[in-house]
A and B are shown apart, each in its own frame.
Chain A
Amino acid sequence: MTYPSDPAAPGPASGRAPLVGVVLVSHSASVAAAVAELSAGLTGGAADVPVAPAGGGPDGGLGTSSDLIAAAARSVDRGAGVAVIADLGSAVLTVKALLADEELPANSRLVDAPFLEGAVAAVVSASAGADLDTVAAAAEEAYSYRKT
């Protein structure tokens, strides 16, 4: 299992409906990559996991890169929509600015969710073939999961 996953698979030719893509935007490249890896790892061995990390700033340090976000969204866009989950501040604002200017694939959506738990919920449901509304709802529901 790898990510970003192979954009050629599993198109309609495979007989399955296209999967919703998930983009994980963090101030830190390693956080985005690790959360993508963790989420993909928790899908129970799905062959194709449409998740892509977009972490770090334009200079490679901590921050947000609009170019990385746009590229990640394109890489997971199979036509079923893209759920974008962001960590904090500029990550959230940059995604909103890109959406307002229609610079992300059609049917991309910023999902209001906690970063790690939301990512796991989104990626697991997307891998199982859920539509964008369901993926977004699963990620948002992660806020209600209490730990004590």
Chain B
Amino acid sequence: MNAPTGSAVDADFLRRWLGTATESIEREADHLTELDSPIGDADHGGNMRRGFRAARTAVEQEPPDTPGAVLVAVGRQLISTVGGASGPLYGTLLRRAGKSLGDEPTVTAAQLRDALRAGVDGVAQLGGAVPEDKTMLDALLPAIDALSGALDAGGSLAEVLAAAAQAAEDGAKATIPLRARKGRASYLGDRSIGHQDPGATSSALLIAALAQTAQEAA
């Protein structure tokens, strides 16, 4: 894929993603907290809302001018404002991804994929989770694989991100029958079975916001 129009990701694209992601988190905050009530500490929606509001404000006040810098700035805000485990986890994901993009003013979908993979590797390293532990990785890893597959098949930016979003949503739903092996939910043992993981759900929302941003730009 080498089409210049509608396929490049620049700072403006990721600032629009942040706006869309923040609105989506606002809209779904109660649902995220509801998912976090039976198996977590019922704070995921509020924590994510606080983090994304702070990130959006910081990026509006001092707009970074490269896509890498936008991701680093959002990651930094999430680490300092979320207050739960999702802060350092999403913060590490976005900062690692942002650093991997370097100072380039625009990046391709393939560079974005590589950056997200570096970020997700950082999450796995920090949290020590593996697939099917019922964590955000269960949405993120399939999303990156689907993105990669769609890129190899020659998809446009909007198409490859739509494929990623679908895989993330499917991955989040597939956490329902899993038994949690990480975080507070793991103390519940078998009682964690039957509930969708809140972290995988918010991961799917964030990837869906990427797909929506690309669709609106296409």
Q: Is the CB of B50 within 8 A of A89?
A: no
Contact of A93 among B41, B81, B89 (CB under 8 A): B89
Q: Is the CB of A66 within 8 A of B80?
A: yes
Nearest chain A CB to B197 CB, angstrom units: 15
Residues of B within 8 A of A88 (CB): 184
Name B93-114 residues within 8 Å CB distance of A: 95
Nearest chain A CB to B30 CB, angstrom units: 18
* Residue B91 at the chain A interface, CB threshold 8 Å: yes
Name A65-114 residues within 8 Å CB distance of B: 65-67, 88-90, 93-94, 96-98, 100-101
Query: How far does the alpha carbon of A88 sit from the alpha carbon of B183 in the complex, in Å?
Result: 9
* Residue B43 at the chain A interface, CB threshold 8 Å: yes
Q: Is the CB of A93 within 8 A of B50?
A: no
Number of contact residues on B: which range applies?
20 to 34
Residues of B within 8 A of A90 (CB): 83-88
Supposing A93-B89, A96-B88, A97-B126 touch, asked if A58 and B184 sit within 8 A by C-beta, the answer is no
Residues of A within 8 A of B81 (CB): 58
> B-facing mask of A47-69, CB < 8 A → 1, else 0?
00000000001110111111100
Contact of A89 among B85, B91, B92 (CB under 8 A): B85
Q: Is the CB of A63 within 8 A of B88?
A: no
When A and B form their complex, what is the total count of cross-chain residue pairs whose Cβ atoms lie within 8 Å?
A: 56
Residues of B within 8 A of A57 (CB): 83-84
Residues of A within 8 A of B38 (CB): none
Nearest chain B CB to A136 CB, angstrom units: 20
Q: Is the CB of B83 within 8 A of A65?
A: yes
Residues of A within 8 A of B183 (CB): 89
Contact of B126 among A63, A65, A93 (CB under 8 A): A93
Nearest chain B CB to A57 CB, angstrom units: 3
Q: Is the CB of B50 within 8 A of A97?
A: no
* Residue B127 at the chain A interface, CB threshold 8 Å: yes
> A-facing mask of B30-45, CB < 8 A → 1, else 0?
0000000000010100
Query: How far does the alpha carbon of A19 sit from the alpha carbon of B168 in the complex, in Å?
Result: 49
Name B72-87 residues within 8 Å CB distance of A: 79-87
Supposing A58-B50, A59-B50, A101-B95 touch, asked if A93 and B83 sit within 8 A by C-beta, the answer is no
* Residue B203 at the chain A interface, CB threshold 8 Å: no
21 contacting pairs across A/B (C-beta < 8 A): A57-B84, A58-B50, A58-B81, A59-B83, A62-B43, A63-B84, A65-B80, A65-B83, A66-B80, A66-B87, A89-B184, A90-B85, A90-B87, A90-B88, A93-B85, A93-B127, A94-B87, A94-B88, A96-B88, A97-B91, A97-B126
Q: What 4 A-B pairs come out closest when comparing CB atoms?
A: A57-B83, A63-B83, A97-B88, A90-B85
Q: Hey, which bits of chain A sit against chain B, CB under 8 A?
A: 57-59, 61-67, 88-90, 93-94, 96-98, 100-101
